[in-house]
């Protein structure tokens, strides 16, 4: 039997989309809790904009993410720029890009990236005061930017380049209001990217071109993902100049903020859970014994890994995944129509009490359970053929940063409750500041 999506009640004419636009996290969690056990999907009806379908069944989420022919990455709102990096490209272009990039993220390359991450963390800690206050998100954003520049692009980023990327991401976050014009208004009435967005995009392109030009000017540049892309271009893989620039922009932006936020949220959760923090500190001290972390240490970070997994469950930087339906289709017994915007709400699935029992609790011990480790309702990196290609790099960087930092510093994040700003990523609305104290 084929089902049509259920529509939750809402005001006349405008339907339930304004409530979603006003507070998407609360709305999606409420819909997941109210209807998740009854319906695989629900439908939101905007006044004249794109029809929205929210997927509540976790197994169906993975089916959709596995089907890149019928469910494609949409271009929603001003963040859907002209760029065609791996994250936004489709079809043969996506296949060409992935075929070049994926081999650079396995085996020995991961160990090399781990060494870069460890060195970058050590440099960050050398800058910190013995006892003082820091902007935690800014510090970690600079760290992740430097790791990306060194590992993926082959050389250090200047402070000016790092600041350009950071400010561009700020602009994109301010511009991107997930539930507003892009969802409420017909296409003809939607405004395009603002002048600020265009300037930020141009600034990012300039930084990307600088990295590409530097590689081309050097006869023997260091091994990096950008080097692999340029050499693939020379070897006949059809990567145009625009594709190369777009992919470099993606390298600069995609993993920078998400990884920084994950680490920042982990420090926040640990500050609220002193027993767990003490355990991570003891583990780091025992495994590292005063040294900087290396690839060989990774297997010893058992509790640290569970803290990262739990942070990704409770506060996923990629809080929502979207897909667009290419044509009328039925999947999992549910009918989808052409151009439906399909929401796969990571944040709501990963906090659902019906699944997790205590969805809002920070409890790393749950990850000793194999059921949790293989649960369909956990997908912080997405799923299917478009699963985040850099997930192992991000997990390693997060564990190294937590372990190395807590071996040397006490980190107390200010504030008790997190307020979120759900834009392209799940940002802390008020930032995250911390008091750091060097250990004796």
Domain with residue 190: its CATH number is 1.10.630.10
Binned at pLDDT 50, 70 and 90, residue 325 comes out as: very high
83 touches 77 (CB < 8 A): no
Q: What pLDDT is stored for residue 159 in this prediction?
A: 86
The predicted pLDDT at position 317 comes to 95
| Mean pLDDT to the nearest integer, 411-418 | 94
Res. 296: pLDDT tops 80: yes
Task: Report the range out of 23-37, 121-135, 230-244 with the highest average pLDDT.
Answer: 121-135
Give the model's pLDDT for residue 86.
Answer: 39
Which whole number is the average pLDDT over 127-139?
97
Q: Evaluate whether residue 138 is within a structural domain.
A: yes
- Does residue 79 have a pLDDT over 50? no
| Total domains in the fold of the chain | 1
- Residue 1, domain member (yes or no): no
Evaluate whether 175 touches 196 at the Cβ level (below 8 Å): yes
CA distance 229 to 243: 10
Q: Which of 172, 163, 261, 147 has the alpha carbon at shortest distance from 207? A: 163
Which of 8-12, 51-55, 263-267 has the least mean pLDDT?
8-12
426 belongs to a structural domain: yes
Mean pLDDT of the chain, nearest integer = 84
Q: What does the pLDDT read at residue 232? A: 67
Q: What percent of the chain has pLDDT over 70?
A: 80
Give the structural domain span for 54.
Answer: 17-438
Which of 53-62, 125-134, 148-157, 394-403 is least confident? 148-157
pLDDT, average across residues 87-92? 50
Residue 423 domain-assigned (yes or no): yes
CB atoms within 10 A of CB 62: 18
Residue count of the chain, please give it. 440
Mean pLDDT check: name the lowest of 56-65, 108-117, 344-353.
108-117
Of residues 51 and 177, more confidence is placed in 51
Q: Is residue 367 part of a domain?
A: yes
- pLDDT band, very low/low/confident/very high, at 113 (cuts 50, 70, 90): confident
pTM of the model: 0.90
8 in a domain, yes or no? no
Q: Which of 47-51, 156-160, 162-166, 195-199 has the least mean pLDDT?
A: 47-51
What region does 290 belong to: left with phi over 0, alpha with psi -120 to 50, or beta?
A: left
**234 part of a folded domain:** yes
What is the percent of the chain where pLDDT is above 90?
51
Question: How sure is the predictor about 179, in pLDDT bands with cuts at 50, 70 and 90?
Answer: very low
Residue 92: inside a domain: yes
| Residues 200-223 pLDDT 10s | 989 999 999 999 888 888 877 777
The 10s digit of each residue's pLDDT in 423-434 is: 889 999 999 999
């Amino acid at each position: 039997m084929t089902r049509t999506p259920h529509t939750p009640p809402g005001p006349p004419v405008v339907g339930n989309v304004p409530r979603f636009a006003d507070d998407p996290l609360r709305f999606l969690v409420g819909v997941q809790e109210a209807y998740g056990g009854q319906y695989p999907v629900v439908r939101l009806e905007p006044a004249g904009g794109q029809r929205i379908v929210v997927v509540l069944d976790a197994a169906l989420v993975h089916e959709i993410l596995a089907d890149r022919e019928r469910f494609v990455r949409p271009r929603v709102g001003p963040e859907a720029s002209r760029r065609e990096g791996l994250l936004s490209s489709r079809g043969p272009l996506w296949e060409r890009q992935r075929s070049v990039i994926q081999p650079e993220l396995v085996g020995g390359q991961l160990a090399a990236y781990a060494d870069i991450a460890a060195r970058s963390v050590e440099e960050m800690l050398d800058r910190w005061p013995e006892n003082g206050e820091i902007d935690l998100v800014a510090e970690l954003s600079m760290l992740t930017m430097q790791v990306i520049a060194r590992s993926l692009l082959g050389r250090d980023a200047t402070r000016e380049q790092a600041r350009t990327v950071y400010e561009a991401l700020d602009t994109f976050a301010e511009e991107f209001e997930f539930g507003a014009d892009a969802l409420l208004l017909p296409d003809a009435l939607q405004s395009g990217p603002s002048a600020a967005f265009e300037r930020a995009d141009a600034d990012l392109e300039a930084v990307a071109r600088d990295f590409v030009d530097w590689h081309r000017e050097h006869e023997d540049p260091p091994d990096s993902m950008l080097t692999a892309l340029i050499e693939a271009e020379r070897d006949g893989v059809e990567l145009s100049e625009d594709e190369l620039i777009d992919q470099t922009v993606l390298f600069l932006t995609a993993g920078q903020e998400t990884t920084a936020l994950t680490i920042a949220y982990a420090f926040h959760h640990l500050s609220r859970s002193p027993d767990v923090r003490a355990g991570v500190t003891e583990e780091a001290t025992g495994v590292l014994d005063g040294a900087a972390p290396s690839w060989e240490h990774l297997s010893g970070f058992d509790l640290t890994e569970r803290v990262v997994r739990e942070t990704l469950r409770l506060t996923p930087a990629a809080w929502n995944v979207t897909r667009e339906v290419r044509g009328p289709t039925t999947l999992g017994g549910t009918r989808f129509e052409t151009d439906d915007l399909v929401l796969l709400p990571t944040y709501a699935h990963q906090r659902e009490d019906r699944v997790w029992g205590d969805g809002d609790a920070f409890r790393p011990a749950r990850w000793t359970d194999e059921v949790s480790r293989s649960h369909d309702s956990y997908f912080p990196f997405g799923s299917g053929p478009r699963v985040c290609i850099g997930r192992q790099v991000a997990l390693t960087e997060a564990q190294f940063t937590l372990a190395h930092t807590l071996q040397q510093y006490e980190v107390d994040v200010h504030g008790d409750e997190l307020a979120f700003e759900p834009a392209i990523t799940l940002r802390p609305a008020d930032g995250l500041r911390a008091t750091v104290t060097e250990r004796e």
